[in-house]
Every structure is written in structure tokens, then in C-alpha cells.
């Protein structure tokens, strides 16, 4: 018997750059298209009964990209937070940002904190945005404050202790790796690797990935 529809879903939104390159567009246009798809799939997630959606927005390793791409991403990220938070708030979405905030522009951190505060009472769906995030960095940061005890005690030191472990991790663009994403939380997640580049990941592709999950049998180490 397969699993039920996943309640907690994480996505590695990969392929924005390749999507733009294939169309002769600047990389930032791929990121803009990708951000539009995040918003669309978020609305689908609400329709499909998903309670938590986590998306990989910017990793600790992404700082090594060209200054132009990083600068464009930071500007776009700030604009999206400012422009879309009120709308998401009205739709009942709670926003949380996970990752290191040290080294991030103070104005951008202020917008992130504003979005979290504005949407904090919402319960329809929780959107976790991994920004300046690395799975190993999260574990190191948690270990720094961990004084011993159980796994549950260790979890309390993660960036978002209230975030559930993803039932399903989806990665787009055909790459088959998890790229330092939610290493602790995805210990028993089902993995689906979709061929579509993220800007091409439409509702049908999303439903197909969710369908692949429902066909599996989760054992968590048992038989």
C-alpha cells in the first residue's frame, strides 16, 4: 500500500540559469521566471492540501557566483518580499526564512523579519524559504549550542525547530543530488528528481511528483 499525499514538501528549484541561457536571456531573467513559478506552485500546494512547503532560494555556496548575478538576486529577493508579502498574508501563508543572516545586507534582513512578523499568525500553509542556507552550516550552528541529549533536543537548535521533516524532496532540472539541502531533516524523505527546469515546472509536473510519492511505501528503517 502506498503513502498518502505528502503534507510536508521541500523543493530544490534548480535550472533557472540554464532556462535563461537556452533562450538567450540574462541569468536574472531565469531567476525572475523561477520566482514566478514558486508563487504559482505555492498556490497549487494550498489547493493540494500541503501544509508546509520549503524552497531553496539561495545557498551558502551561491556567493561564489558572479557579482552581477549575486547582486541581481539580492535586489530581486528584496523586491519580491516587499511586493508579495501582503498578498501572501491575505492568502493565509506564514513565511519563515531559514539560514544564516550574518553577512546579509541589513536592509534585506529587515524585510525578511518584517515578512515573518506580518504573516506569523497565518495557518493555511507555512512557506519556509532557505536563504543563505547550507545543510552542513545548519548542523554546525546547531552543534555550537547543543550541550548533549537526544536527537529531539538537538532539533531544538536548528534554524526552524517547528518545521516538520519533509515527506518528499523534489529536485528539478534532472540533477540527482541534494546539494547540501536540509541534511538533517531529509534523513527519511522520499526523493523525486524531475527533468523539467524549474521555470518549466508546471502544476502537472508538480502533481506528477506528488503522485510518485503516493506510490511508495515508507518504512523508516522497518520492514
- CA 77-80-81 angle, to 5 degrees, is 85
Active-site annotation holds for 202: no
DSSP letters for 55-123 = EEEEEGGGGGS-HHHHHHHHHHHHHHHHHHHHHHHHTTEEEEEES--TTS-HHHHHHHHHHHHHTTT--
Task: For residue 132, give the DSSP letter.
Answer: E
Q: Which of 14, 16, 132, 167 is catalytic?
A: 14
Catalytically annotated residue among 16, 36, 62, 180: 62
Distance of CA 118 to the CA centre of its chain: 20
Strands of the 93-98 sheet, one edge to the other: 93-98, 125-133, 52-59, 8-12, 168-171, 190-193
14 is catalytic: yes
Element (H, E) at 21: helix 16-22
172: Cβ contacts below 8 Å, ≥ 6 apart: 11, 12, 13, 14, 15, 194, 195, 196, 197, 198, 201
Q: Note the maximum CA span of the chain.
A: 53
Q: Which residues are catalytic?
A: 14, 62
Amino acid at each position: 500500500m502506498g503513502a498518502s499525499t505528502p503534507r510536508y514538501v521541500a523543493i530544490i528549484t534548480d535550472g533557472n540559469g540554464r532556462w535563461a541561457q537556452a533562450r538567450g536571456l540574462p541569468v536574472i531573467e531565469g531567476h525572475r521566471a523561477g520566482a514566478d513559478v514558486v508563487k504559482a506552485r505555492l498556490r497549487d500546494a494550498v489547493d493540494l492540501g500541503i501544509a508546509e512547503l520549503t524552497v531553496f532560494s539561495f545557498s551558502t555556496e551561491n556567493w561564489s557566483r558572479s557579482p552581477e548575478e549575486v547582486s541581481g538576486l539580492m535586489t530581486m529577493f528584496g523586491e519580491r518580499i516587499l511586493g508579495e508579502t501582503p498578498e501572501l498574508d491575505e492568502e493565509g501563508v506564514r513565511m519563515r526564512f531559514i539560514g544564516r543572516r550574518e553577512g546579509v545586507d541589513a536592509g534585506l534582513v529587515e524585510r525578511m523579519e518584517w515578512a515573518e512578523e506580518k504573516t506569523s499568525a497565518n495557518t493555511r500553509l507555512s512557506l519556509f524559504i532557505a536563504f543563505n542556507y547550507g545543510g552542513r552550516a545548519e548542523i554546525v550552528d546547531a552543534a555550537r549550542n547543543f550541550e548533549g541529549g537526544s536527537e529531539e533536543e538537538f532539533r531544538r537548535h536548528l534554524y526552524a525547530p517547528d518545521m516538520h521533516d519533509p515527506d518528499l524532496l523534489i529536485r528539478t532540472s534532472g540533477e540527482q543530488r541534494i546539494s547540501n539541502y536540509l541534511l538533517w531533516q531529509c534523513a527519511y524523505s522520499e526523493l523525486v528528481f524531475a527533468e523539467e527546469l524549474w521555470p518549466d515546472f508546471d502544476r502537472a509536473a508538480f502533481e506528477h511528483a506528488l503522485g510518485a510519492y503516493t506510490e511508495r511505501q515508507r518504512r523508516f528503517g522497518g520492514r
